[in-house]
A and B are shown apart, each in its own frame.
Chain A
Amino acid sequence: MFDTLMGKYRNIVVSIALFLLLDASVLTLNFYISFEIADDAVGVNLSGRQRMLSQRMVKSLHDIQYSAGDEQARQRALDELDLTQRLFSSTLNAFDQGGEAIGADGSEVVLEAANSSAARLAIVEAKEIWQPYSTLINAVLNADGELALNQALMPALAYARANNLALLKLMNNLTVELEHVATSKATRLRWIQTVGITLAIINFLIILVHFLGQLRESDKQIESARKETTEILETVGEGLFLLDKERIISSQYSRALETMFVRKELGGLSLEALLESMVSDKDLRTAQRFIALLFREDIKSNLIGDLNPLKEIEVNISDNQGHYLTKYFSFTFERVYDDGKIKDILVTVVDVSEKVRLERELALSKEQNERQIEVLTSILHANPDLLKLYLKQVEEAADDVNTILREPSKGHVALKRKLDQIFVAIHRIKGEASALNLESFEELTHEFELNIKDVHGKDNITGDDFLPLVVRLEKLVKHTESVQVLTAKLGAFSSGAKAPARSESISSDWHHLEDLLNKSSLRCGKQVQLFTSGLSEVPMSKELSGLLSDFAIQGIRNAVAHGIETPSEREQLNKDIEGKIELRLSQSSKGELEFVVKDDGGGIDIDRIREKAAELGIASETELESWSAKRLTSLIFEPGFSTAAEHTMDAGTGAGMDLLRQRVNAMRGRIRIASRSGHGTKISVFLPAPAAVSEAA
C-alpha cells in the first residue's frame, strides 16, 4: 500500500517534504538567530551602561572631593564609587573573556567574549586605561582616614580627568560595534527568512502548477476510461456485472442485463433477489452454493467450472398477465483478483434461448420423425381410403365423446348414462381399428374401454372419475391428429390412391376381415377359417358398406370369442379342428338385403346368459327361469351385457351388439339370431333395398 502510494505520488510527497523542510529550517534559524540577537541586545545594553558607569565613577570621585566634612555624603559617594567600579570592572572582564556580569535589573547575565576586531580593540585599549584607573580608585576606596583619602583622591581625579573622555569613547566604540554586530545578525535573519519563504512559495507554486496539471490529466484519463467503460457496458450484447462476496450486483453493469431480465436498477440487488421467482428454488439454491465455492481461495476454479448449475438455465419471467416468458440464459463466472485475493466474480450472462430453441426443435423433430416412422409402419398396410375414412370416424367419435362429456350432469345416474354413451362411441372405433389392423388405435381405444369399465364399476360416480377418460380422449385426439398430419404429408394417400370409387361394395376390402379373424383367433388360441360369398355383387353406399363391415367385425369377434371352441374341444366333439365362419350377402328379388354371419361353434350358451342376467340384476333367478331362449338371447343387445369372463380385445365389453342394433334400427332393418347348442350361431341382418335406405336416411 505504502509502496504503491510512494510510486504513484512520489513527486508530490517529495515536494511537500521539501516544503516542510524549508519551513522547518527557516524556523530553526529564526530561533537560533533571534536568541543570538537577544544576547547581543544584553551586550549592547551593558556596553551602554559601561559608558554611564565611566561617567558615574568620575562623578563619584568629585563627590568625594566635595563632601569634606559631611561624613554621610562622603560615605554615599564612596559606596557609589565602589559599586560603579565593581560593575565596570566585571562587565569589562566579561566582554573581554566572556563570563558572568550583573544585568541592568541586578540579576546575573552571561556574556560572550566580544570577538569582532573593532570590539576587541576597544576592549584592549579600555583595559589599558582601566588597569591604572582601577588601581587608583581602589586606593581611594581603601584609604584609611581623611588624609590618606585626600592623598589617594588627587591622583585618581587627575587620572580620571585625563582619561575619562578616552574611556568614554572606547566604551562608546564598543557599544556601537556591538550594535553593528546585532544589526548585521538581524539583517541576516531577515535575508534567511526572505529566502526561505521565497523558496517555500516557489515550491508551493511548483506543487500547485505541476501537480494540479497532473491531477487534471489523470482526472481526464479516469473520466475517459469511465466513459469507455460506460460505452462498452451500454453496447455489449451480454449481461455483464460484478458480484461481491455477499452476492450483491455491482453498481455498474451492462445495459443488456436490464433488457434480458426485463427489470431496471439492478445495481445493489442481490443475485438471489434478481433470480427468485424466475428460476426454481432448487436451481437457485444450487447456484448459491456454487458461487460460495467460487469465493473459496482453496478451490481451483477450473476444478469446479463444470459444476456451474447456471450454464444453461431456464429463466421464466412473469409478464404480470398470468403468463411466463421462458428464456434460456448461460451464466459464466470468472474470479476477479486483487492483490492475489479473490475480490469479486465477473458474471457474464448470454441469452441462449435461440440456440436452446433450435436444439429442442431438432430433438423434437427427431423424436417426431421416429414417432412418425412408428405410426407410418403401423398404418402403411392399411388401405389409404379406409384409413382416411377411419380417421374421420375417430375424429367424429372424439367429438361425440367430448360433447357427451360436456353435457352438464351431476348425479350418479346421469353420469353413468354418459359413461354408456362414451363406451358405445369408443367401442365402435375400437372394432374398426381391429378390422383395419390399426394396432395403435386398437390399444388406445382398448385402454379407454378399460378406464370406462373401471369407472362403471364404481358405486357412486362423480365428475372426478371422468378425469382419466378425458386424459385418454386427449391422447386419442393427439394420436389421430399426428396420423392425419402424416397421411396428409404422404401425397400418395391423397392423390395416388384415389380409391377407385370403392366399387360401391365391401369386396375390395374384405381382406381386412381376414386380418381381424387371424388376429382374434390367434389371441384366443383358436383356429378359424373365413368363407365369404356375394360380398362384391351388391352395389351399396358407403354408409351401408360401413354398417355391414362393422356387423361382420362384431360377428367375427363374437364368433371367435364366444362361439367357436378351442381345437382340443373341437377334437373331443368330433368336429373339424378348424372352425368356420361364413359371411354371406344376398339380395332378394324385392331388393331387400340379407347379410349373414354364421359359425359352427357351440352356439349361444343360454345358461350362461341367464347366469349373467341374474348377476347384473336384470331379473330375479326365478323370473329368468321362466324366460324363453329367444328373450334371453335378445339380452346380448343390451348395453353392457357380455358373457365373457373378462374384458379382452375381442370380447367382454358388451356394447358392440347394442350399437349395431341401434344402427340397423336406424336403417329400418331387423336382426335375427338363430342358435343350436353345439352346432353354431347364425346372425342375419335384413335391410331394405339400398335405394330405399337412402330415402329413409
Chain B
Amino acid sequence: MSEDTLKIFINGVLNYFQHTSDKDVKVGAPYLVENRDPTCFDYTGIIGVSGPYKGTVYFTAPKILLTHLLLSLGEQDTSNENIMDIVGEVANTISGNARSEFGQEFMISVPVMIEGDGSKIQLPEQLRSYVIPIYWKAYSAAVVICLENV
C-alpha cells in the first residue's frame, strides 16, 4: 500500500467537508489497527474495492458529528434516516473520488451503510487496517482502509 493510495481515500472525505459551512477539517496522524477489532463509531459507510488492490474502505463517524454535519449543510431534519443518508453521501464521495483517481482498472462498489457496532464490517482477520482520524469541529471520525495488493 502506498501513501498515495491512502491519500486518494482521505481526499474523498476532505472533498466532502469542503461543501460544509465549517471547512476546517483536519487529518490526524494515521495508525494501524488489527482487523480483529475494527475501529467503528455509531454510523459507517462501507465501499468495496477490487482491481489491483482489493479490500474495503469505510468512513465511520459518531452520531453527534453527523448531526452537526447535517445542520451545517442546512438540513434541520436530523432523523436517523438522514444521518444514514449523509454517511452514505460521504462514502459515495470517497468512492467517486477513488473512481476518478484510480481509473478503469479499479472497481468501486456502491456504498453500504450500517449503524452500530462493527461486527457487520467484515475484514480479513489476518490483515491490518490503516486508520486515518478526521477531526471536524470538536469531533473525530475516521477513514479506515484495508486493502490487499493482489
| A residues with CB within 8 A of B | 277-282, 314, 316, 318, 320-324, 326, 360, 402, 405-406, 408-410, 415, 418, 462-464, 466-468, 470-471, 473-474, 477
Contacts and interface: CB of A to CB of B under 8 A. Distances in A.
B29 A409 contact: yes
A185 B122 CA distance: 101
Contacts of A282: 104-105
B65 to A, nearest CB: 14
Given A280-B51, A324-B54, A467 B3 contact: yes
B116 to A, nearest CB: 15
B128 A462 contact: no
Given A322-B47, A464-B10, A471 B2 contact: yes
B32 A408 contact: no
A470 to B, nearest CB: 4
Given A321-B46, A462-B26, A280 B32 contact: no
Given A402-B32, A463-B132, A467-B7, A281 B104 contact: yes
B146 to A, nearest CB: 11
B6 interface: yes
A214 B49 CA distance: 60
B128 A477 contact: yes
Interface string B24-36: 0011111110000
Contacts of B109: 318, 322-324
A463 B54 contact: no
Given A280-B105, A468-B3, A474-B128, A323 B122 contact: yes
A314 B107 CA distance: 11
A281 B108 CA distance: 11
B115 to A, nearest CB: 14
B107 A316 contact: yes
B27 A464 contact: yes
A410 B26 contact: yes
Interface centre among B30, B122, B133, by most chain A C-beta atoms within 10 angstroms, is B30
A332 to B, nearest CB: 24
Given A278-B107, A280-B105, A321-B120, 20 more contacts: A282-B104, A316-B107, A318-B109, A320-B112, A322-B56, A322-B109, A322-B121, A323-B56, A323-B122, A324-B50, A409-B28, A410-B135, A415-B29, A463-B30, A463-B132, A463-B133, A464-B27, A466-B29, A470-B30, A470-B32
B130 interface: yes
Contacts of B128: 474, 477
Contacts of B43: none
Contact of A408 (B6, B28, B46): B28
B28 A410 contact: yes
A470 B133 contact: no
A471 B3 contact: yes
Contacts of B3: 467-468, 471
A280 B27 CA distance: 31
A463 B1 contact: no
Given A281-B104, A463-B133, A322 B30 contact: no
Interface of B: 1-3, 6-7, 10, 26-32, 46-51, 54, 56, 58, 104-107, 109-112, 120-122, 128, 130, 132-133, 135, 140, 150
Contacts of A468: 3
Nearest to B47: A322
A410 B122 CA distance: 30
A320 B28 CA distance: 30
A467 B48 contact: no
A544 to B, nearest CB: 32
Nearest to B91: A322
11 contacts: A280-B51, A280-B107, A316-B107, A405-B31, A408-B28, A410-B135, A463-B28, A467-B7, A471-B1, A473-B32, A474-B32
A324 B109 CA distance: 8
B122 A321 contact: yes
Nearest to B1: A471
A289 to B, nearest CB: 14
B110 A318 contact: yes
A351 to B, nearest CB: 17
Nearest to A320: B112
B135 to A, nearest CB: 6
Nearest to B110: A318
Nearest to B45: A322
A26 B104 CA distance: 78
